[in-house]
Amino acid sequence: MIKLVCRWKCFQGKHCSVKDFFVRCIGILTKCADINSFRAVFTDVLIVALSETESINSNDLNSCFAAQTRLMKAIKSDVHCYQYENDCAEYGGIDSNQNRFDDCITGSKFIQDLVNKCKSFLTDGERPNPYHCSDFANSFIRVAKHFPLWTAVMPRDKSSVATSVFIIQ
């Protein structure tokens, strides 16, 4: 997945630190082992990619600068994924009980709901966002619809699996 992202044309003409930042964010996403971690990282990456400006003095947990700070902290500490506290505000107002079976999380609908939520968080700031890259956001959204395939959200279970193979005893 990381090699695929490195070849995206959206990074042409951008400073190398922009590509490095987003590639490392994808690396964090590939290590996410549960849906809430994926949701949190995805939201932060999209907020940073879509925000044209940022506000350093904002106390809003969903601001571009706050999302950027959380991502940088995760990159620096090389954690397997975000370790959020139980504060739902940090998830962007998403309740941890939201991923019940009844909600039927499917790729396209789930991702589109997150994209709409991220777009609602975008605000104007006082300085340009150095990591603004809307072309990356478009490619990222397209690939994110298949997130169970390239993240650790659906790890293999070590228990036995039913099979149709006939076993001779």
Model pLDDT for residues 138-163, shown as the tens digit of each residue: 888 888 877 766 666 555 555 554 55
Domain coverage including residue 11: 2-150
Report yes or no on 17 lying in a domain: yes
Report yes or no on 44 lying in a domain: yes
Band of residue 168 on the pLDDT scale cut at 50, 70, 90: low
What's the chain's average pLDDT? 75
Residue 46 has pLDDT above 90, yes or no: yes
Q: What is the pLDDT of residue 99?
A: 44
Report yes or no on 156 lying in a domain: no
Q: Which of 70, 19, 20, 24 is nearest to 43 (CA)?
A: 70
What pTM, to 2 d.p., does this model score? 0.73
Q: What percent of the chain has pLDDT over 90?
A: 9
Report yes or no on 157 lying in a domain: no
Report yes or no on 165 lying in a domain: no
Report yes or no on 12 lying in a domain: yes
The count of domains in the chain is: 1
Model pLDDT for residues 52-109, shown as the tens digit of each residue: 988 887 778 888 898 999 999 988 886 555 554 333 344 444 444 444 433 445 567 8
